[in-house]
């Protein structure tokens, strides 16, 4: 994928669910990113960053500090991205939710 950024649009959505490994708490978070002028590779990278950020917010909402200590909890995150330059439209994202230990996220 190497399309021109020019008049491109980039929209992504992510939703995350977090849980303590011992099952004592849970939380969720979700958010969208809409921007323009980025190449498709940059757009996908931005969507992935948003997904990890939402995972971190879900961890925080479960009472588990994002990016602090490993082994306390984890988050599952679902995301997708739509990129278009008027000539070509690319819709992508993982086929299954991605899992992160809360230490590997940020908020």
Mapped to the 3 state alphabet, what secondary structure does 44-65 carry? HHHHHHHHHHHHHHHHHHCCCC
pLDDT at 105: 97
Computed over every residue of the chain, the mean pLDDT equals 95
Q: Is 2's pLDDT higher than 60? A: no
Residue 106 pLDDT > 90: yes
Domain segments of the chain: what residues? 9-104
Model confidence, pTM: 0.92
């Amino acid at each position: 994928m190497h399309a021109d950024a020019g008049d491109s649009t980039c929209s992504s959505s992510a939703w995350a669910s977090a849980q303590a490994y011992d099952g004592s708490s849970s939380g969720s978070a979700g958010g969208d990113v809409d921007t323009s002028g980025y190449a498709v590779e940059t757009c996908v990278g931005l969507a992935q960053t948003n997904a990890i950020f939402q995972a971190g917010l879900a961890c925080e909402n479960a009472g588990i500090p994002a990016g602090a200590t490993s082994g306390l909890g984890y988050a599952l995150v679902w995301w997708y991205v739509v990129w278009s330059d008027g000539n070509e439209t690319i819709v992508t994202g993982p086929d299954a939710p991605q899992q992160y230990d809360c230490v590997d996220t940020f908020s």
